[in-house]
Structure 1
């Protein structure tokens, strides 16, 4: 089974992290938003080999439009000055510098993020999207992250959840349009074999909705990507609202999978340029510096892969 995260980040307060949307943004068509803190690339930062792979249309425009379901800390979020930050944002800026263009993140609901590429509204996806066999039917993935999913519970862990099978016969919330619900239903027979009922899964529009359900007692747990779970446990209410379930048998989370930059199959040359740019920041150490900034070094990849998420082990 594979894991996935995230959802439609709307213009609402990200209350759990104390971060709000809307400030420091400029309105775009169709209600989207674009960060204003995107710096123009410096010629000194360009990797000539990577830049040479970039299709002429992007070199001419100087911009690659990035669909991103904002906010989803620590992948995409806003700082205390309401400026966009996060792993995906920082990687986008570093890769854009290598290519000599701007990678501009634009808000796009996760359940419409692939159609936004197909319609030409956006060029690529950087939104913590997992590289799966099903998605590879439509997209190519430049893989930059490798992590599993984790379980987030109320502080004090009142239901004493220590493993994924402890979720049997419990109410678990996940975000709509992710594959977490499918993953959890995959444990149905194991739950029954233990003499218990299957996990009761509810799908909610936003990850913030999921966390609110756990806080209010409407759900016993949230199942979400490990990076997002760890961030919420560390930051929500100064670390006093949630606990992260630490299963010693799965220290990096359950079912680890690759996360990648999504690019339409027809734009294979763009994928190659992005792969070269990612490899360039891996080689010069900037990639590791960015991951360390968000305490995500444990999920680093050794090299920029293409469609490795669904590869046979």
Structure 2
């Protein structure tokens, strides 16, 4: 635990309270730093209050730096996207701002390609990842996860489903587009098929994978259920894609935990973030952010670490 003085904690809390009073004027966006003003909720975003006991859990080097640098892949709706003012919104940015408020520290939201988010932590460019990242045993070799959602992946096909995909097994012999470096690609390649295997097309961004399906370059697109449901509901007013719904997998195929990724050796930060998330769960702010982004069905009941290992 960081042995900070009462004076410093009080000053941080006072600064946070002052900033909260000014949230309606805050214009900080992606990559905001302490010099530009804190990255805080604006408009109708959910707000919370600082907890000095949680502030005291932060590692000394972060207190000295004065902010949490957070890597996120954007756009990746509904997890992260830009609003009309180019401000990051969605589940990850909004939860990140809440965690910063609760911990009494500024946050800087830094756009990062998904396949480079872990290297950005290893290079000390970012402190944690908030990018809808699945908690897997393989990633736990490098990261600890504070899990914040639980759900599977979903399959999208072009409207009308002329390819006839009704179950996960129907993807055998088909070409499926996914974002590069995602768990979905690994799961599809590992599927046992009676005939031809799944042909997995990995593309740089999630939007590229969606575009491949729209252009007929793939038979299906696979992503986390929270993302796929949003894409299906919003693209061409819901007329572009159909979601393949399997009654045997109502929460999506191969349900997994996703969460906030932090380097394993940063144990103090892991615990500070875990307790801050638990506080947001207890007060209801976490549930409000889920509901704002239409992903309440994928909530976790408590803030736990590395639940992916037990799946």
Residues 154 and 136 of structure 1, relative CA distance in 2, 3 Å threshold: same
Q: Distance in 2 between matches of 1:153 and 1:221?
A: 5
SS in 2 for 1:217: coil
Matched, 1:261 2:260: yes
Aligned ranges 1:107-118 → 2 under 5 Å: 107-118=111-122
Query: Which structure 2 segments of 5+ residues have no match?
Result: 1-27
Residues 216 and 40 of structure 1, relative CA distance in 2, 3 Å threshold: closer
Structure ranking higher on relative contact order (CA contacts 8 Å, 6+ apart): 1
Matched, 1:165 2:169: yes
RMSD in angstroms over aligned alpha carbons?
A: 2.4
Residues 40 and 101 in structure 1, CA contact (< 8 A), matched pair in contact too: no
Residues 91 and 293 in structure 2, CA contact (< 8 A), matched pair in contact too: yes
Matched, 1:101 2:105: yes
- Partner of 1:231 in structure 2? 230
Q: Distance in 1 between matches of 2:186 and 2:48?
A: 46
Residues 126 and 218 of structure 1, relative CA distance in 2, 3 Å threshold: same
Given candidates 118, 136, 143, the residue that maps to 1:139 is 143
Matched, 1:83 2:84: no
- Partner of 2:184 in structure 1? 180
The count of aligned residue pairs is 279
SS in 1 for 2:273: helix
- Partner of 1:38 in structure 2? 39
SS in 1 for 2:307: coil
Residues 232 and 243 in structure 2, CA contact (< 8 A), matched pair in contact too: yes
The one-character-per-residue Cα deviations of 1:156-213 (angstroms, maximum 9, x if unpaired) are 11112111111111111111111222211222x3x21xxx321122111111111111
Residues 151 and 285 of structure 1, relative CA distance in 2, 3 Å threshold: same
Matched, 1:222 2:226: no
SS in 2 for 1:54: coil
Question: 1:151: how far off?
Answer: 0.1
The one-character-per-residue Cα deviations of 1:113-136 (angstroms, maximum 9, x if unpaired) are 111111111111111111111111
TM-score by length of 2: 0.84
Question: 1:25: how far off?
Answer: 5.5
Residues 283 and 27 of structure 1, relative CA distance in 2, 3 Å threshold: closer
Q: Distance in 2 between matches of 1:37 and 1:216?
A: 41
Residues 92 and 103 in structure 1, CA contact (< 8 A), matched pair in contact too: yes
Residues 144 and 300 in structure 1, CA contact (< 8 A), matched pair in contact too: yes
Q: Distance in 2 between matches of 1:157 and 1:40?
A: 40
Question: 1:279: how far off?
Answer: 0.4
Question: 1:295: how far off?
Answer: 1.2
Q: Distance in 1 between matches of 2:147 and 2:130?
A: 10
Residues 237 and 131 of structure 1, relative CA distance in 2, 3 Å threshold: same
Q: Distance in 2 between matches of 1:308 and 1:152?
A: 27
SS in 2 for 1:58: helix
Residues 30 and 111 in structure 2, CA contact (< 8 A), matched pair in contact too: no
